[in-house]
Amino acid sequence: MTPFGSRVRQLRTEKGVSLKQMADELEISSAYLSALEHGHKGLPSPMLLRQICTYFGLIWDAAEELERVAALSDPRVTVDTAGLSPDHTLVANLLARDIARLSPGQLSGLLCVLGAQSTVLTGT
């Protein structure tokens, strides 16, 4: 699941709507919405993102936060280290290789180093 998917699921739960109900109201397939939540599809289009914000009544900071989380939710990240040091390339490759084995504590540590909060992962 992506940070965006986690946040959308949280919003759906708070609103008390099912995935199918939300998909029907947004006029998209429930399979697509499920795939988007679980990170099996790429990022939502700007139009769909606006529809989702409207659906949940998100404005101002809340809408900007959902847009920020969406931008950080690409499930198929590519890291271009061309022109960077060998250590940059090493870190990118080690992270790609070992990311699934990182513990929650290690993830929190990396997020702190990168200046992000672990709440991005939980959507809270």
Residues 92 and 58 in one domain: no
**Which DSSP state fits 32?**
H
Q: Can you tell me the distance from the alpha carbon of 93 to that of 6, in angstroms, rounded to the nearest whole number?
A: 26
User: Sign (positive/negative) of CA torsion 44, 50, 56, 60?
Assistant: positive
Residues 91 and 37 in one domain: no
Residues 63 and 103 in one domain: no
The pLDDT of residue 124: 47
Residues 31 and 67 in one domain: yes
Q: Can you tell me the distance from the alpha carbon of 122 to that of 124, in angstroms, rounded to the nearest whole number?
A: 5
Residues 63 and 33 in one domain: yes
Residues 62 and 106 in one domain: no
Closest CA to 123 of 2, 3, 1: 3
Structurally, the chain folds into a number of domains equal to 2
CATH of the domain at 67: 1.10.260.40
Residues 66 and 91 in one domain: no
Domain span at residue 97?
Answer: 86-122
**Does a structural domain hold residue 117?**
yes
Residues 100 and 58 in one domain: no
Closest CA to 26 of 59, 50, 58: 50
The pTM of this model reads 0.76
**Does a structural domain hold residue 96?**
yes
Q: Can you tell me the distance from the alpha carbon of 40 to that of 76, in angstroms, rounded to the nearest whole number?
A: 9
The pLDDT of residue 75: 84
**Does a structural domain hold residue 61?**
yes
Those residues with Cβ within 8 angstroms of residue 41's Cβ, 6 or more apart along the chain or in another chain: 32, 35, 75
pLDDT tens digits for the chain (124 residues)? 889 999 999 999 999 999 999 999 999 999 999 999 998 988 899 999 999 999 999 999 999 999 999 998 888 889 999 999 999 999 999 999 999 999 999 999 998 998 876 554 444 4
Residues 35 and 91 in one domain: no
